[in-house]
Structure 1
Amino acid sequence: MSFTVYPAVDIAGGRCVRLLQGRFGTETVYSDDPVKVAIGFSRAGARWLHIVDLDGAKTGERKNRDLVLEVVKMASCPVQAGGGMRSLDDVEEVLAAGANRAVLGTVALEDPEAMARACARYGERIAVSLDAKGGELASHGWVVGSGVPLLEAVKAFEAAGVAHFIYTDVARDGMLSGPDVDGLLRLTEATS
């Protein structure tokens, strides 16, 4: 078994931030220049970067779109980008700009057919974000509970062609308490 650490560059209000348990209004600002942070990770030897437009994830409007696209173009390592991608046009734009993967979240729950079309068209270049709150998936920047059990959803997503998942236990996110190893083990047992 192997794994890759993905340094994350979360962008809200044009700044590189960390939220506590996904709650907007609890931001710790790390930099006013997310592009510089991403390039720093890349130059330090990151094998991948994970960049998220948090405002886009919450509202569906990719408010930090230009910053995300700039990171995609400037990074010297592979980049997966997400946050606010609600259509195939959004996916096409970020992949055409050079992202190696587009990360889908809310759209996977609200429009599974669109997610399946993205997987059919782009295959390994699509990942789905599994943002869990109390064992159920959350959407819209982790603000809205879906009522969909995590393990049920991951099996359906895998059957629809999703090859990559990004798991977050929202209760632990931003708390600097490490990953949810038990949750990760349950996910690896539930997927192929």
Structure 2
Amino acid sequence: MILYPAIDINDGQCVRLLRGEKSSAITYSVDPAVQAKHFQNAGCKWIHVVDLEGAFAGKVVNVTAVRSILSTVDIPLQFGGGIRNRTHIHDWINAGISRVILGTVALFNPNLVAAVCRDYPGMISVSIDVRNGKPAVEGWTKTSTITARDLALKFEDVGVASIIFTDIDRDGAMQGPNLEETRILAQALSIPVIASGGVSSIDDLLQLTKLNNDGVEGVIVGRAIYDGRINMNHALRVLGGDNT
């Protein structure tokens, strides 16, 4: 199972939010590129990067910070937050992003997702971030009426590389991941699922490894790494597989 350490960028800095609320931002590093280099040196094989301001604005805001990460590390990045059209996708893939994450646009324009999956095979992921069981979009400020499962199934046969499933109510809350809903979604799909939200301990990672056979191939971890609750070397050993 792949560990994706998270770098969430706000005002050019690496921060963490509680349940996506901007007022809860805690700054952990003033230089996201330095943080990314630390993750690479620790042995991580991927990094998960989100432009928080971009998610609200509908366009990437922290361009300089993301490009700085790209120029600093050699490992692949998956990146999202404000990427809403074909030009955005094309530009960031050309800039060196290995996998573009689509969230809001996946809900409102699934045909675009299918089209760019054909153009960039294996380089498009869909992020489904749920609150009370329903996907939330536009920086988690609006909630849809479709279920997470039904939204994910729209992309079952279009070539999406992964579904990133986040329980917003657990994100940054250190309450453990939503194992049951993650398992149910993964079992309904042939697309690999990446779990996100609430991971707070090595035990949480151990529990997630039990879902590997259900189709959960990775996990995004943020605050627990920054707070020291999870030791990176220990986490990589526990998850094994593609991290070694």
TM-score class normalised by the smaller sequence: over 0.9
Identity of aligned residues (%): 39
1:113 to 111, 117, 124: 111
User: Following superposition of structure 1 onto structure 2, how do residues 20-59 of structure 1 map, counting pairs within 5 Å?
Assistant: 20-59=18-57
Structure 1 residue 66 displacement after superposition? 2.0
Counterpart of 1:106, as a letter, is T
Partner of 1:187, secondary structure, is: helix
* Residues 19-43 of structure 1: CA deviation (Å, up to 9, x unaligned): 1001111101111111111111111
Counterpart of 2:149, as a letter, is L
Aligned to 1:134: 132
Aligned to 1:123: 121
* Residues 162-192 of structure 1: CA deviation (Å, up to 9, x unaligned): 2311111000001122321112101111101
Query: Is this contact kept in 2: 1:16–1:29, CA < 8 A?
Result: yes
- Extract structure 1 runs of 4+ deviating beyond 2 A: none
Partner of 2:43, secondary structure, is: coil
Counterpart of 1:143, as a letter, is T
* Residues 150-172 of structure 1: CA deviation (Å, up to 9, x unaligned): 01101112233323111110000
Counterpart of 1:172, as a letter, is R
In 1, the alpha carbon distance for the partners of 2:27 and 2:131 equals 24
Query: Is this contact kept in 2: 1:43–1:76, CA < 8 A?
Result: no
Structure 1 residue 114 displacement after superposition? 1.4
Structure 1 residue 110 displacement after superposition? 1.4
* Residues 131-160 of structure 1: CA deviation (Å, up to 9, x unaligned): 011111110111111122101101112233
Structure 1 residue 97 displacement after superposition? 1.4
User: Following superposition of structure 1 onto structure 2, how do residues 92-111 of structure 1 map, counting pairs within 5 Å?
Assistant: 92-111=90-109
Aligned to 1:181: 179
Give unmatched runs, 5+ long, in structure 1: none
What is the TM-score when the length of structure 2 is the normalising length? 0.75
How many residues get paired?
Answer: 190
In 1, the alpha carbon distance for the partners of 2:37 and 2:156 equals 32
Aligned to 1:60: 58
User: Following superposition of structure 1 onto structure 2, how do residues 12-23 of structure 1 map, counting pairs within 5 Å?
Assistant: 12-23=10-21
* More contact order relative to length (CA 8 Å, sep ≥ 6): 2
Query: Is this contact kept in 2: 1:7–1:50, CA < 8 A?
Result: yes
Query: Is this contact kept in 2: 1:167–1:184, CA < 8 A?
Result: yes
Q: Which has the larger radius of gyration?
A: 2
Query: Is this contact kept in 2: 1:57–1:83, CA < 8 A?
Result: yes
What is the TM-score when the length of structure 1 is the normalising length? 0.94
Counterpart of 1:53, as a letter, is D
Give unmatched runs, 5+ long, in structure 2: 191-244
